[in-house]
Amino acid sequence: MTMNRADKPLMSIEDIAVSYGNSPVISGLSTVIEEGTLVGLIGPNGAGKTTLMLSAAGQFRPVRGHVYFEGSDVYEHNRDFKEKVGYVHEDPFFYPYLTAEDFLRFVVGVKSVPKGDIDGQIHSLLKLVDLWAERGKVTSALSMGMRKKLAIAAAMVGRPRILFLDEALNGIDIESTYRIKRSLRDFAAAGGAVILSTHTLEVVEKLCDRYLLLKKGRVIADLRAGEVTGQRGVGEGGSLERYVIRMLSDPDDVDLQ
Protein backbone atom coordinates (compact mmCIF):
# COMPACT_ATOMS: atom_id res chain seq x y z
CA MET A 1 0.00 0.00 0.00
CA THR A 2 1.39 3.39 -0.95
CA MET A 3 1.28 5.77 1.96
CA ASN A 4 3.64 8.48 0.80
CA ARG A 5 0.89 11.10 0.49
CA ALA A 6 -0.89 10.15 3.67
CA ASP A 7 0.10 13.22 5.65
CA LYS A 8 -1.57 15.71 3.32
CA PRO A 9 -5.20 16.40 4.36
CA LEU A 10 -7.65 16.13 1.51
CA MET A 11 -10.76 16.59 3.56
CA SER A 12 -11.27 17.89 7.02
CA ILE A 13 -14.46 17.48 8.97
CA GLU A 14 -14.72 19.97 11.80
CA ASP A 15 -17.10 19.55 14.70
CA ILE A 16 -20.13 18.64 12.62
CA ALA A 17 -23.54 17.91 14.08
CA VAL A 18 -26.37 16.39 12.08
CA SER A 19 -29.89 15.82 13.21
CA TYR A 20 -33.17 14.66 11.76
CA GLY A 21 -35.72 16.99 13.28
CA ASN A 22 -35.08 16.82 16.99
CA SER A 23 -33.14 13.56 16.88
CA PRO A 24 -29.37 14.10 16.80
CA VAL A 25 -27.53 11.55 14.68
CA ILE A 26 -24.03 12.98 14.74
CA SER A 27 -22.77 15.34 17.36
CA GLY A 28 -19.41 17.11 17.48
CA LEU A 29 -17.59 14.83 15.08
CA SER A 30 -14.18 15.91 13.77
CA THR A 31 -11.69 14.02 11.66
CA VAL A 32 -9.29 14.43 8.78
CA ILE A 33 -9.06 12.34 5.61
CA GLU A 34 -5.61 12.35 4.06
CA GLU A 35 -4.65 11.82 0.44
CA GLY A 36 -3.84 8.25 -0.42
CA THR A 37 -5.84 6.62 2.37
CA LEU A 38 -8.54 4.00 2.39
CA VAL A 39 -10.71 4.61 5.41
CA GLY A 40 -13.02 1.92 6.73
CA LEU A 41 -16.11 3.23 8.49
CA ILE A 42 -17.39 0.68 10.99
CA GLY A 43 -20.18 0.77 13.52
CA PRO A 44 -23.47 -0.77 14.57
CA ASN A 45 -26.77 -0.04 12.83
CA GLY A 46 -27.85 3.53 13.45
CA ALA A 47 -24.34 4.68 14.43
CA GLY A 48 -24.46 7.43 11.79
CA LYS A 49 -22.15 5.96 9.14
CA THR A 50 -24.37 6.78 6.17
CA THR A 51 -25.22 10.20 7.59
CA LEU A 52 -21.54 10.99 8.08
CA MET A 53 -20.76 9.93 4.51
CA LEU A 54 -23.64 11.95 3.08
CA SER A 55 -22.57 15.01 5.05
CA ALA A 56 -18.94 14.65 4.04
CA ALA A 57 -19.97 14.14 0.42
CA GLY A 58 -21.82 17.45 0.32
CA GLN A 59 -25.25 15.88 0.15
CA PHE A 60 -26.56 16.55 3.63
CA ARG A 61 -25.71 19.88 5.23
CA PRO A 62 -24.86 19.57 8.92
CA VAL A 63 -26.66 21.82 11.37
CA ARG A 64 -23.31 22.76 12.88
CA GLY A 65 -19.67 22.59 11.86
CA HIS A 66 -17.95 22.51 8.49
CA VAL A 67 -16.58 20.09 5.94
CA TYR A 68 -13.57 21.32 3.97
CA PHE A 69 -12.18 19.77 0.82
CA GLU A 70 -8.70 20.97 -0.11
CA GLY A 71 -9.34 23.92 2.16
CA SER A 72 -12.72 24.97 0.72
CA ASP A 73 -16.10 24.56 2.36
CA VAL A 74 -17.92 21.84 0.44
CA TYR A 75 -21.32 23.46 0.98
CA GLU A 76 -20.13 26.85 -0.27
CA HIS A 77 -18.84 25.35 -3.52
CA ASN A 78 -21.12 22.37 -3.66
CA ARG A 79 -21.26 21.80 -7.41
CA ASP A 80 -17.52 22.11 -7.93
CA PHE A 81 -16.93 19.80 -5.03
CA LYS A 82 -19.32 17.18 -6.40
CA GLU A 83 -17.35 17.17 -9.65
CA LYS A 84 -14.54 15.66 -7.60
CA VAL A 85 -16.61 13.18 -5.63
CA GLY A 86 -17.90 9.70 -6.43
CA TYR A 87 -20.64 8.24 -4.27
CA VAL A 88 -22.13 4.75 -4.27
CA HIS A 89 -25.36 4.54 -2.30
CA GLU A 90 -26.33 1.38 -0.51
CA ASP A 91 -29.37 1.05 -2.76
CA PRO A 92 -28.28 2.75 -5.98
CA PHE A 93 -30.74 4.29 -8.42
CA PHE A 94 -30.76 3.76 -12.19
CA TYR A 95 -33.01 4.98 -14.96
CA PRO A 96 -34.53 1.62 -15.88
CA TYR A 97 -34.88 2.35 -19.59
CA LEU A 98 -31.22 3.28 -20.13
CA THR A 99 -28.60 0.67 -20.98
CA ALA A 100 -25.56 0.29 -18.73
CA GLU A 101 -23.46 2.25 -21.23
CA ASP A 102 -26.11 4.94 -21.71
CA PHE A 103 -26.41 5.37 -17.97
CA LEU A 104 -22.67 6.01 -17.75
CA ARG A 105 -22.97 8.45 -20.65
CA PHE A 106 -25.68 10.29 -18.73
CA VAL A 107 -23.40 10.62 -15.68
CA VAL A 108 -20.48 11.58 -17.93
CA GLY A 109 -22.60 14.35 -19.46
CA VAL A 110 -23.60 15.73 -16.07
CA LYS A 111 -20.05 15.54 -14.72
CA SER A 112 -18.50 17.65 -17.48
CA VAL A 113 -15.95 15.12 -18.67
CA PRO A 114 -13.90 16.51 -21.60
CA LYS A 115 -15.29 15.30 -24.94
CA GLY A 116 -12.12 13.54 -26.00
CA ASP A 117 -12.01 11.54 -22.80
CA ILE A 118 -15.61 10.28 -22.74
CA ASP A 119 -15.36 7.07 -24.78
CA GLY A 120 -12.06 6.09 -23.17
CA GLN A 121 -13.45 6.51 -19.66
CA ILE A 122 -16.63 4.59 -20.37
CA HIS A 123 -14.69 1.77 -21.99
CA SER A 124 -12.18 1.46 -19.16
CA LEU A 125 -14.81 1.71 -16.42
CA LEU A 126 -17.02 -0.94 -17.99
CA LYS A 127 -13.97 -3.18 -18.33
CA LEU A 128 -12.94 -2.49 -14.76
CA VAL A 129 -16.23 -3.64 -13.31
CA ASP A 130 -16.53 -6.45 -15.83
CA LEU A 131 -19.70 -5.11 -17.44
CA TRP A 132 -18.35 -4.69 -20.95
CA ALA A 133 -20.35 -7.66 -22.22
CA GLU A 134 -23.49 -6.32 -20.55
CA ARG A 135 -23.12 -2.73 -21.72
CA GLY A 136 -26.09 -3.00 -24.08
CA LYS A 137 -28.50 -4.32 -21.45
CA VAL A 138 -31.02 -1.96 -19.87
CA THR A 139 -30.28 -1.40 -16.20
CA SER A 140 -33.57 -2.96 -15.10
CA ALA A 141 -32.38 -6.26 -16.63
CA LEU A 142 -29.12 -6.32 -14.64
CA SER A 143 -28.72 -8.48 -11.57
CA MET A 144 -28.20 -6.90 -8.15
CA GLY A 145 -24.45 -7.50 -8.26
CA MET A 146 -24.18 -6.01 -11.75
CA ARG A 147 -26.14 -2.96 -10.64
CA LYS A 148 -23.71 -2.47 -7.77
CA LYS A 149 -20.83 -2.73 -10.20
CA LEU A 150 -22.44 -0.20 -12.50
CA ALA A 151 -22.95 2.16 -9.55
CA ILE A 152 -19.23 1.87 -8.74
CA ALA A 153 -18.35 2.60 -12.36
CA ALA A 154 -20.69 5.62 -12.32
CA ALA A 155 -19.06 6.89 -9.14
CA MET A 156 -15.64 6.71 -10.79
CA VAL A 157 -16.74 8.76 -13.80
CA GLY A 158 -14.81 12.00 -14.14
CA ARG A 159 -11.81 10.70 -12.18
CA PRO A 160 -12.94 11.91 -8.73
CA ARG A 161 -10.50 12.72 -5.94
CA ILE A 162 -12.54 11.08 -3.22
CA LEU A 163 -14.83 8.07 -3.29
CA PHE A 164 -17.59 7.24 -0.81
CA LEU A 165 -18.73 3.63 -0.91
CA ASP A 166 -21.75 2.72 1.22
CA GLU A 167 -21.92 -1.07 1.41
CA ALA A 168 -20.80 -0.98 -2.19
CA LEU A 169 -18.99 -4.31 -2.36
CA ASN A 170 -21.90 -6.40 -1.07
CA GLY A 171 -23.32 -8.85 -3.60
CA ILE A 172 -20.44 -8.54 -6.07
CA ASP A 173 -18.76 -11.71 -7.34
CA ILE A 174 -15.29 -12.65 -6.11
CA GLU A 175 -13.36 -11.84 -9.27
CA SER A 176 -14.92 -8.42 -9.70
CA THR A 177 -14.48 -7.65 -6.00
CA TYR A 178 -10.80 -8.49 -6.33
CA ARG A 179 -10.45 -6.24 -9.38
CA ILE A 180 -12.37 -3.38 -7.77
CA LYS A 181 -10.35 -3.64 -4.57
CA ARG A 182 -7.13 -3.53 -6.59
CA SER A 183 -8.31 -0.48 -8.49
CA LEU A 184 -9.34 1.23 -5.24
CA ARG A 185 -5.79 0.71 -3.96
CA ASP A 186 -4.42 2.17 -7.21
CA PHE A 187 -6.87 5.05 -6.89
CA ALA A 188 -5.60 5.82 -3.38
CA ALA A 189 -1.99 5.38 -4.44
CA ALA A 190 -2.57 8.01 -7.12
CA GLY A 191 -3.55 10.52 -4.45
CA GLY A 192 -7.26 9.87 -4.02
CA ALA A 193 -9.07 8.86 -0.87
CA VAL A 194 -11.68 6.17 -0.31
CA ILE A 195 -14.20 6.07 2.51
CA LEU A 196 -15.83 2.70 2.74
CA SER A 197 -18.73 1.91 5.02
CA THR A 198 -19.45 -1.75 5.60
CA HIS A 199 -20.36 -4.35 8.17
CA THR A 200 -17.96 -6.87 6.61
CA LEU A 201 -14.85 -6.50 8.74
CA GLU A 202 -12.78 -8.81 6.54
CA VAL A 203 -13.09 -6.33 3.68
CA VAL A 204 -12.10 -3.43 5.92
CA GLU A 205 -9.20 -5.38 7.40
CA LYS A 206 -7.78 -6.39 4.02
CA LEU A 207 -8.47 -3.21 2.07
CA CYS A 208 -8.29 -0.23 4.41
CA ASP A 209 -5.31 1.33 6.10
CA ARG A 210 -7.31 3.29 8.63
CA TYR A 211 -10.38 2.39 10.67
CA LEU A 212 -12.97 4.77 12.08
CA LEU A 213 -15.29 3.16 14.59
CA LEU A 214 -18.57 5.00 15.11
CA LYS A 215 -21.10 4.65 17.88
CA LYS A 216 -24.11 6.88 18.44
CA GLY A 217 -22.80 9.50 16.04
CA ARG A 218 -19.35 9.79 17.57
CA VAL A 219 -15.96 8.41 16.67
CA ILE A 220 -14.97 6.09 19.49
CA ALA A 221 -11.84 4.74 17.83
CA ASP A 222 -9.57 6.02 15.07
CA LEU A 223 -6.57 3.86 14.36
CA ARG A 224 -4.20 2.73 11.61
CA ALA A 225 -4.15 -0.79 10.26
CA GLY A 226 -1.15 -1.88 12.29
CA GLU A 227 -2.41 -0.45 15.55
CA VAL A 228 -5.07 -3.06 16.33
CA THR A 229 -2.55 -5.57 17.54
CA GLY A 230 -1.63 -4.85 21.11
CA GLN A 231 -4.75 -2.87 21.98
CA ARG A 232 -6.23 -3.53 25.41
CA GLY A 233 -8.31 -6.69 25.46
CA VAL A 234 -7.19 -7.74 21.99
CA GLY A 235 -3.62 -8.78 22.54
CA GLU A 236 -0.86 -9.68 20.07
CA GLY A 237 -2.23 -10.84 16.73
CA GLY A 238 -5.76 -9.91 17.76
CA SER A 239 -8.34 -9.37 15.07
CA LEU A 240 -10.25 -6.23 14.16
CA GLU A 241 -13.47 -8.08 14.93
CA ARG A 242 -12.39 -8.71 18.51
CA TYR A 243 -11.35 -5.10 18.91
CA VAL A 244 -14.63 -3.76 17.52
CA ILE A 245 -16.71 -6.03 19.73
CA ARG A 246 -14.73 -5.03 22.77
CA MET A 247 -15.04 -1.35 21.98
CA LEU A 248 -18.75 -1.55 21.34
CA SER A 249 -19.46 -3.52 24.45
CA ASP A 250 -17.19 -1.72 26.91
CA PRO A 251 -19.06 1.18 28.52
CA ASP A 252 -15.82 2.64 29.91
CA ASP A 253 -14.60 3.57 26.44
CA VAL A 254 -17.57 5.57 25.40
CA ASP A 255 -20.02 8.00 26.84
CA LEU A 256 -23.26 6.16 26.21
CA GLN A 257 -25.29 9.26 27.04
Long-range contacts of 139-143 (CB under 8 A, 24+ apart): 139/94, 139/95, 139/96, 139/98, 139/99, 139/100, 139/103, 140/94, 140/96, 140/97, 142/100
Among positions 29, 41, 56, 68, the unique one binding another protein when judged by CB under 8 A: 68
Q: How far is the CB of 236 from another protein (least distance, A)?
A: 34
Among positions 1, 64, 95, 182, the unique one binding another protein when judged by CB under 8 A: 95
The answer to whether 112 contacts another protein (rule: CB under 8 A) is: yes
If DSSP codes are grouped into helix, strand and coil, which group holds residue 50?
helix
Tell me the number of residues near another protein by CB under 8 A. Answer: 50
Among positions 6, 17, 31, 105, the unique one binding another protein when judged by CB under 8 A: 105
Among positions 6, 24, 83, 241, the unique one binding another protein when judged by CB under 8 A: 83
Burial per residue of 189-224, b for 16 or more beta-carbon CB atoms within 10 angstroms, e otherwise: eeebbbbbbbeebebbeebbbbbbbbbbbbbbbeee
Cα 24 to Cα 51: distance, rounded to the nearest angstrom: 11
The answer to whether 162 contacts another protein (rule: CB under 8 A) is: no
Tell me whether residue 96 or residue 230 sits nearer to another protein (CB atom): 96
Q: How far is the CB of 254 from another protein (least distance, A)?
A: 18
Among positions 9, 24, 65, 92, the unique one binding another protein when judged by CB under 8 A: 92
Phi, psi of 237 (to 5 degrees): 70, 10
> DSSP alpha helices (H): ranges in the chain?
49-56, 78-83, 100-110, 115-128, 144-155, 174-189, 201-207, 240-249
Say if CB 250 and CB 210 are below 8 A apart: no
- Which string of x and - marks every residue 29-58 that binds another protein (by CB under 8 A)? ----------------xx-xxxx--x--x-
Tell me whether residue 218 or residue 242 sits nearer to another protein (CB atom): 218
Query: Site residues (CB under 8 A) for another protein?
Result: 20-21, 25, 45-46, 48-51, 54, 57, 59-61, 68-73, 77, 79-83, 85, 87, 89-93, 95, 97-99, 101-103, 105-107, 109-112, 115, 118-119
